């Protein structure tokens, strides 16, 4: 079951990235560099190299509000681009 959840999360993130790339093609490199990793500790967080996601949280947001999840993903990417994550070890975007 974990493989199925991992695949669904991956597909959800890819869907969001593709939608964002249609509007913001210049962010393609940022999307490629940030690896998505599963996390039980954070709902959505980043250390500047990785985006840590709670799989169940991501799937719930994707089903409830794809637009909101898209905004959260884009927010994390911008935090990484502008290096805001270095204020702490991790920037936790729990909502």
| Selected residue with higher pLDDT from 95 and 36 | 36
Q: Where does the pLDDT of residue 93 fall: very low under 50, low under 70, confident under 90, or very high at 90 and above?
A: low
Paired tokens of 42: 């954070």
Q: What is the mean pLDDT of residues 43-70?
A: 93
Rg (CA), the chain: 12
CA distances from residue 19 to 3, 5, 16, 77 in whole angstroms, order as listed: 24, 21, 5, 14
Spell out the residues 6+ positions from residue 15 whose beta carbon is closer than 8 angstroms to its own. Answer: 62, 66
Please state, rounded to an integer, the average pLDDT across all residues of the chain.
Answer: 87
Q: Token digits for 3? A: 């493989």
Task: Give residue-wise pLDDT tens across range 9-32.
Answer: 999 999 999 999 999 999 999 999
């Amino acid at each position: 079951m974990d493989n199925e959840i991992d695949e669904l999360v991956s597909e959800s993130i890819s869907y969001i990235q593709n939608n964002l790339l249609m509007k913001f093609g210049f962010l393609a490199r940022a999307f490629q560099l940030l690896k998505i990793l599963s996390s039980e500790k954070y709902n959505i967080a980043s250390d500047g190299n990785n985006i840590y996601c709670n799989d169940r949280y991501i799937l719930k947001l994707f089903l409830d509000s794809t637009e909101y999840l898209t905004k959260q993903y884009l927010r994390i990417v911008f935090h990484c681009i502008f290096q805001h994550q270095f204020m702490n070890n991790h920037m936790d975007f729990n909502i």
